[in-house]
Amino acid sequence: MKLVRYGAEGAEKPGMMVGDTLHDLSGVVDDIAGDVLSDAGLARLRALAPSDLPVVAGNPRLGPCVGSIGKMLCIGLNYSDHAAEAGMPIPEHPILFMKATSAIVGPNDDVMIPRGSTNTDWEVELGVVIGTRAKHVSAAQALDHVAGYCIVNDVSERHYQTGLTGQWTKGKSCDTFGPTGPWLVTRDAVPDPQALDMWLDVNGERRQTGSTATMIFTVAQIIEHLSGLMTLHPGDVISTGTPPGVGMGMKPHPVYLQAGDVMELGIAGLGKQRQALVQED
């Protein structure tokens, strides 16, 4: 099942994709959020007959596929080959940083290069959406707490991330730095989150090619670790790291995004995103 949120920014409605057809769910649920993400909530939606749901005409904007995201938790250096290109050692435990929820935008919204930035970079990542409260869960039980999966572009400003005093969050939380979607693919439709191919292009040129099979810490291990530190709530999103090919790691010198560039990215079974780069005034 593919769940979406569509419409103007801040006024998105819930929807369901059936094939290439978007159906409206606003007569059934208020949003793709909260209890709707529980096993019972998703079972209710799964039981609906698409023919009974209104068809949404045209090609509306898609918003972030999850509403009312409480926190976006991000895992750094979670692919061994990406750690190598960054010149960083393999972490012993998942590296955690936060991305401000104000950074989250739709999958095809413009991405804004911050004023004065010269080091804005791309990162295709698997997003994990929590469906039921998780606290001190084991890796064996972890995926039972997942509502589904989506694409996240963990856009990063590298100078802000590493050159300004503080934590990575500074370079990860600029406005528009969290495109999320296009849709939430429910857990039952993703048999193995560790077997998903992923890619990212800049201006039609392939930059990243990878697979979740090469994660250092699996989705289940990440949830086990994080739920031992804090309670994970329905609608929380975990962005699980990126494969190699980011601009920071390009040889012989880094290559960063500029206004007018276009990013396209995708993960097998989870759709794709497209963002144009614009300069902040």
Three-state DSSP at 7 gives coil
Q: What is the pLDDT of residues 198-226, one digit of tens each?
A: 999 999 999 999 999 999 999 999 999 99
Share of residues in the chain with pLDDT > 70 (%): 100
Tokens representing 107? 């999958």
Average pLDDT value for residue range 168-191: 96
User: Is pLDDT above 90 for 193?
Assistant: yes
Confidence (pLDDT) at 84 = 78
Nearest Cα to Cα of residue 150 among 69, 29, 34: 69
Fold classified for 72-279: Fumarylacetoacetate hydrolase; domain 2 (3.90.850)
Is the distance from CB of 53 to CB of 24 less than 8 angstroms? yes
The overall average pLDDT reported for the chain is 96
Tokens representing 64? 């972030």
User: Is pLDDT above 80 for 269?
Assistant: yes
276 strand-pairing partners: 262
Share of residues in the chain with pLDDT > 90 (%): 92
Q: What is the pLDDT of residues 144-160, one digit of tens each?
A: 999 999 999 999 999 99
User: Is pLDDT above 90 for 186?
Assistant: yes
Q: What is the pLDDT of residues 110-121, one digit of tens each?
A: 999 999 999 999
Residue 246 CA to residue 196 CA, distance in Å, equals 19
Give 162 or 223, the one with higher predicted confidence: 223
Q: What is the pLDDT of residues 37-49, one digit of tens each?
A: 999 999 999 999 9
Confidence (pLDDT) at 164 = 87
Is the distance from CB of 200 to CB of 124 less than 8 angstroms? yes
User: Is pLDDT above 80 for 86?
Assistant: no
**Looking at the whole model, is its pTM more than 0.95?**
yes
Confidence (pLDDT) at 166 = 76
Query: What is the torsion angle, in degrees rounded to the nearest 10, for the CA atoms of residue 44, residue 231, residue 183 and residue 48?
Result: 0
The identity of residue 106, as a single letter, is: G
Confidence (pLDDT) at 163 = 87
Is the distance from CB of 5 to CB of 61 less than 8 angstroms? no
User: Is pLDDT above 80 for 106?
Assistant: yes
The identity of residue 107, as a single letter, is: P
User: Is pLDDT above 90 for 162?
Assistant: no
Average pLDDT value for residue range 11-19: 97
E-strand spans in 140-232?
146-153, 156-157, 178-179, 184-186, 197-202, 205-211
Confidence (pLDDT) at 87 = 79
Residue whose tokens read 């401000």: 100
The CATH 3.90.850.10 domain(s) of the chain lie at 72-279
User: Is pLDDT above 90 for 253?
Assistant: yes
